[in-house]
Amino acid sequence: MTPLFLAVYTLVPTFFGTLGFFQPTSARPPITIVTDRSWDVGGRKTTFGEYPLSAEQIASATSPLHGGTRKAVVAEFGPRSKIIPGSVPIWRNRTAEPEGEAYQFRKTVRLGADPIRKITLEVNSDDVARMYINKRLVSVDKRDGTLKDGYDDWFTFRSVTGFTSGRIYTYDVTDFFFTNVTNTIQVEAVSLAFDGNHAYVSAKIVIEFAPMPEPPRPEPPAKRKPAAEPKATAPPPATTTATKPAAPEKTVFEAGRDPEIEQLRVGSILELGHLYFKADDYRLDTASYRTLAALATYLKRYPGLKIEVGGHTNLRPAEHFATELSTNRARAVMRYLTDNGVAADRVTYKGYGKSRPRIKAISKEADRVNQRVEVLVLEK
C-alpha cells in the first residue's frame, strides 16, 4: 500500500465520521468475576439455618463477615469436582476439617452507567452453597433428585444455589444487578467432610453490556414568523368550556387500604404509600415491606391485572442520575413483587427520573411529593 493511498484510506473514515455519516458506537467489554484469593471470607466457622438469610442478616459491602473479614485461600478439590473454567476454587482453609465447616464469602463490583445487556452466573460447590446478589437469593426452583432423601434431611440446607460437586449450575442474574452502584455478592457455603475432606466454592459471573444510547440531537431553532397585520376587532365568541383530556385517576395504595377492583381501569394509577428508600439509594427500607406485601397479595387476588411500576425523583439531581435512580427503585419494587409470587409477565418497570414532577419546584414539600413510586394499570 503506497503512502498516498494509506493517507486517503485513513482520512476517509475520519472525514465521513466528522460529517455525521456514521458514528460507530460499541458496547463496553464484558466484565468477568471469578472466585479467587481476592474474595473476602469470614474469620470463623458459622452455623447457617435451614432457610436463607433475611436481607437484614446479610452483611453489607463494608461490614465485617462472621468472625472478622479475611481473604480466601485456594482450596483442594476431588477428581469428580466440576470447577468452573477460569475460576479458582476457594475456602477458608485448604481442606475441610473432619467435622465439616460453614463460611461466608463476599465480593463487590462497582458498575457505572453502561446499560446492562445480560449477566450470567455459573456456580459449583462442595458441598452446598447459597449465593446472594444485592441481598437477593439466587436459587434453583426445586430439587432435581441428585441428592438422596436421607442425605437431604441430614443436611437441612434449603433453597440452594449450588449443590453436589459434580454439576455446574447456570443462572440468568441480569435483574439482580444495578448500574451506578456498588453491587455485593455474598455466599454462605457448607461442607460436610467426607471423600477426602474437600471443600470449596467455584463461581463465575459474566456481565455483558449494551451500547450507550446516542445523545439526542439538538433541534434547530424555530424560525420567527413575521408579525401579523392588525385585524379589526370582532365581537367575542360565545363562551364555551374547553374539553381537556382526563388525567389518570390516582389512588394511594397501602396496607389495609385496598382499592375496589371495580374502581380501577386501564390507565389508573396507584401511588404506593409508606414506601421508603434511603437518600440517593435504590434499596428498600424494611418499613416498606408492609405496603409491598399487601400489593403482592392484591395482585394475586386479581390475576387479570397487569401493571407498570414507575419510579420518579425530585428535581434536584442531574438528569442521568435521576433516570438511573428512579429505574433502580422501580426495579427493586418489581423484584419484591415477583419474589413474592406475582408472575413476572404481569409486572414491568420504568424510571421516569424527574420528567413528571407533581410540583415544578425545589423545596422540602415539593421533593416529598415528586419523589414517589406509582403503579400504572396496563390491563385489567
List the domain boundaries for the chain: 31-209, 250-379
Region of 223 (left: φ > 0; alpha: ψ -120 to 50; beta: rest) is beta
| Cα-based distances in Å from 1 to 8, 201, 267 | 11, 54, 64
Which residues, including other chains, have CB under 8 Å from residue 134's CB and lie 6 or more apart?
A: 176, 177, 178, 183, 184, 283
Q: At what angle do helices 319-339 and 289-301 cross, to 10 degrees?
A: 60
pLDDT above 70 (res 236): no
Comparing CA positions, the residue from 340, 344, 341, 350 lying closest to residue 376 is 350
**pLDDT single digits (tens) 109-138:** 998 878 888 999 999 998 889 999 988 888
Per-position DSSP letters for 144-210, written without gaps between them: -S-S-HHHHHHH---S-SEESTT--EEEE-GGG--TTEEEEEEEEEEE---TTT--EEEEEEEEEEP
Residues pairing with 170 in the sheet: 122
What distance in Å separates the CA atoms of residue 33 and residue 364, rounded to the nearest whole number?
Answer: 42
SS3 323: helix
3-state helix, strand, coil in the chain (%, to 5): 20, 25, 50
pLDDT, greater one: 241 or 187: 187
Comparing CA positions, the residue from 290, 379, 303 lying closest to residue 343 is 303
Region of 145 (left: φ > 0; alpha: ψ -120 to 50; beta: rest) is left
Sign of CA dihedral 37, 42, 44, 49: negative
Per-position DSSP letters for 286-318, written without gaps between them: GGGHHHHHHHHHHHHHSTT-EEEEEEE--SSS-
Flag the least confident range among 70-74, 88-92, 310-314, 332-336. 332-336
Give 83's pLDDT tier (boundaries 50, 70, 90).
Answer: very high
What mean pLDDT do residues 139-158 have?
50
pLDDT above 50 (res 9): no
Flag the least confident range among 48-57, 59-68, 121-130. 48-57
What mean pLDDT do residues 344-360 have?
93
Kindly report the CATH number that applies to the domain delimited by 31-209: 2.60.120.260
Flag the least confident range among 66-75, 192-201, 306-315. 192-201
Mean pLDDT over each residue of the chain, to the nearest integer: 80
- For 14, phi and psi rounded to 5 degrees? -65, -40
User: What is the 8-class DSSP label of residue 376?
Assistant: E
Does domain 250-379 fall under CATH 3.30.1330.60? My reply is: yes
Structural contact between residues 71 and 91, judged by C-beta atoms closer than 8 angstroms = no
Against a cut of 0.75, is the pTM above it? no
User: What is the 8-class DSSP label of residue 19?
Assistant: H
**pLDDT single digits (tens) 310-347:** 999 999 888 988 998 999 999 989 988 988 889 989 99
Q: What angle do CA 257, 369, 347 make, to 5 degrees?
A: 55
Residue 103: Cβ-neighbour burial (10 angstroms; 0-12, 13-18, 19+): buried
